[in-house]
Amino acid sequence: MEYGSLFADGKQAEDPRPPDNPDNPYGFLKFPMGYSVEIASLGLKIRGDVRRCCCVIDGGVYENLLFFPTIQMIKDRYPGVQVDILATARGKQTFELNKNVRWANAYDLDDDFPEPAEYTDMVGILKSRYYDMILSTKLAGIGHAVFLFMSTARDRVSYIYPNVNSAGAGLFLSETFTPDSMSLSEGGYHMYRQMVDWLGRPAHKVPRQPLPPLKVSISKKLREVVEAKYKNAGAQKGKYIVIHGIKSDSKASMQSRGAADSLLPIETWANIAEEIRGVKPVIVIPHEKEREDVEDALAVLVDDSAGVIATNTAAIQLAHARGKPSIGLFCSEDKARSFVPNAEEKKCATISSKTGKLVDIDVEAV
């Protein structure tokens, strides 16, 4: 009643239904097999409330990490909403850093030719969960739009290609956003600006929902495991600096798609480490076979460190999320402003290459 009448205005109330029982194949009530009974409030129909939302997130760790504030904004706008995540294989573990988010693991979004059985299984999962809204950051043509349409969600929201490849996609979607380029990641920190503006729009006498800052949760168990590892390496809590952004053959670099030039050779990092006095540098070199766990460990390393020195990788955003001072190395000033807006507020000092190539960055300035 804070914003208006019970059904026509205001935010939705907490979901009054009992929680789903994962051990019961029929849900929380024992309806016969073949029947899927749905209980919905009148406010859901009139106001367009959202009880269940599925977020289809394209990209790697960096893109997944920057979607965290959007997830929190959805939860703030729709109290009691259940948010499920369908992400690429590269971003699978990222969302485990965000509490109360489920992981839907059926097939890989990056696979242009998925197995028919996996594809139909994923469609069946989406249909059976009765999502009120499905969001997608994967650029949609008619194929991906049909996939979202088959979810039978009430609101089907997605980015579409900024060219002729988007032809026909809008017929299957409720709301579309056209990015400025073929990669959302080129938008930097605010790469999801269009979707955020739509999700937070004022409606039914509810004011605009603000976008919360980036935050990352760390479990106590994970912290204990990682703490034991860096202590065995001779580092002490609060007395080491995390160095991240080493060029290697591993796919676990956690760089953004919008910043291809964001890694430095280990020789350059060795020169930077020699200049550090008073603290122990901890150089993070992710391995391909451990890429699913590297972001979890990195989050703890960043949180327990004295600060971070990194190129334009997810490490610089993790430092901001945990309130740690950082030094960001960028190939250009434009990239620095794009990926680290309001750098001073985030306790981040940005250093940019004068030639437009990261390898030419002034090491002495660091």
CB 52 within 8 A of CB 78: no
* pTM for this prediction: 0.84
- Band of residue 1 on the pLDDT scale cut at 50, 70, 90: very low
- Band of residue 22 on the pLDDT scale cut at 50, 70, 90: low
Q: How far apart are CA 81 and CA 102, in angstroms?
A: 12
Enumerate residues 6+ apart whose C-beta is below 8 A from 235: 280, 282
Q: How far apart are CA 44 and CA 267, in angstroms?
A: 58
Lowest mean pLDDT among 186-200, 247-261, 299-313, 345-359: 247-261
Whether the predicted pLDDT of 286 surpasses 90:
no
Residue 217, pLDDT score? 84
Residue 164, pLDDT score? 93
Whether the predicted pLDDT of 208 surpasses 50:
yes
> For 30-52, what is each residue's pLDDT tens digit?
555 555 556 667 767 777 888 89
- Give the mean model confidence (pLDDT) for residues 71-76: 93
Nearest to 330 by CA among 355, 362, 353: 353
Residue 335, pLDDT score? 93
Which amino acid is located at 80 in the chain? Answer: G
H/E stretch holding 54 reads strand 52-57
Residue 29, pLDDT score? 54
**Strand-by-strand arrangement of the 52-57 sheet:** 102-103, 82-87, 52-57, 133-140, 155-160, 175-177
Which amino acid is located at 216 in the chain? Answer: V
* Higher local confidence (pLDDT), 106 or 127: 127
- Give the mean model confidence (pLDDT) for residues 362-366: 76
265 — phi, psi (to 5°)?
A: -65, 155
Residue 161, pLDDT score? 95
> For 153-176, what is each residue's pLDDT tens digit?
999 999 999 999 999 999 999 999
How far does Cα 244 stand from its chain's mean position?
19
Give the angle 213-214-217 at the CA atoms, nearest 5°.
125
- Give the mean model confidence (pLDDT) for residues 11-27: 64
Q: How far apart are CA 110 and CA 108, in angstroms?
A: 5
